[in-house]
Amino acid sequence: MNQRFSIVPVFYLAFLLIPLYWLLTMSFKPMKELAGQLTLYPKSPTLDHYQVIFSDSSWYLGYLNATVYVLMNVAICLVAAIPAAYAFSRYRFFGSRSLFFGLLAFRMMSPAILLIPIVQIFSDLNLIDTYIAVALAHCFFNLPIAIWILEGFISSVPAELDELARIDGYNLATYFRKILLPEIAPGIAVTAFFCFLFSWTEVILSNALTTIDVKPIGAIMSRVSSVFTANVPILSAAGVLTLIPGILIVILVRRHLTRGFSMGRVD
């Protein structure tokens, strides 16, 4: 692999960072400066816009709400996907191939396609405006991707290990806990990363399934945007704050990311 210093990643880094820098400066500019003319950095920086967010519960609770249902979704997906991925990896059973594809097909459906029936179902179940409704609804796109990634990792664990564990008297649950899960730790990390990513960034379903109590930050931002120009700095500040959970998650799973992204195929 390339070991020499290359300028290419630096250019890409600049391309990524300039829009982020712009968001950051906008969030510190007073309204008057922003509306006046273009300034490359805030001449008289202010924390007013952040103060608005931190002093109004309908704003700051949005972050908490989104974090709660996203973490619930990640947990649900991992718990359901690990045994399913194991079944797909180790057993060839009736319909396994079509089932695997059928699951993946759901990953490709836009939330827009299923929006109305999903809202109907969760309102029939009396779950509108609850964390669990969003966490469950996001399963249709996250669970298939979780199974797909984990299947790759489990397949790279030699099946002989299963045999040995059985001879040692391990049942399936003990085998999972003591042998399989530690082996596929990078896979679990990268799966959690993807589930977090797709659930945290989704807006259509999470907006439609929530009304007051558990509105996520994305939905709050889209509501405010109706009086658009007046709110540019506040939306910028709100946008900056949405970066924090993402950065935390990257730092948390970074150790596993590169191995994880190879999708288990280390050979």
Window 205-224: residues binding other proteins (CB under 8 A): 217-218, 221-222
Residues in region 138-197 near other proteins by CB under 8 A: 138-140, 143-145, 147, 151-152, 155, 196-197
Residue type, 14: A
Residue type, 28: F
| Residue window 2-21: x/- pattern of binding to other proteins, with contact defined by CB under 8 A | xx-xx-xx--xx-xxxxxx-
- Least Å distance, CB 169 to other proteins, is 18
Query: Residues 36-42: contacts with CB within 8 Å, 24+ apart?
Result: none
Q: How far apart are CA 242 and CA 65, in angstroms?
A: 12
Give the binding range for other proteins (CB under 8 A) out of 43-51, 52-60, 111-119, 162-170. Answer: 111-119
- Least Å distance, CB 62 to other proteins, is 11
DSSP 59-122: HHHHHHHHHHHHHHHHHHHHHHHHHHHHHHHH---TTHHHHHHHHHHHHTS-HHHHHHHHHHHH
| Residue window 40-79: x/- pattern of binding to other proteins, with contact defined by CB under 8 A | x-----------------------------------x--x
- Least Å distance, CB 177 to other proteins, is 15
Nearer to other proteins, 50 or 140 (CB): 140
Q: How many Cβ atoms are within 10 Å of 190's Cβ, its own excluded?
A: 26
Contact 205, 138 (CB under 8 A): yes
By CB neighbour count within 10 A (0-12 exposed, 13-18 middle, 19+ buried), where does 245 fall?
middle
Give the binding range for other proteins (CB under 8 A) out of 41-49, 102-110, 161-169, 177-185. Answer: 102-110
266 near other proteins, judged by CB under 8 A = yes
Residues in region 82-101 near other proteins by CB under 8 A: 83-84, 86-89, 91-94, 96-97, 99-101
- For residue 228, the 8-state DSSP code is T
126 near other proteins, judged by CB under 8 A = no
Distance of CA 124 to the CA centre of its chain: 27
Of 37, 55, 57, 126, the residue at the interface with other proteins (CB under 8 A) is 37
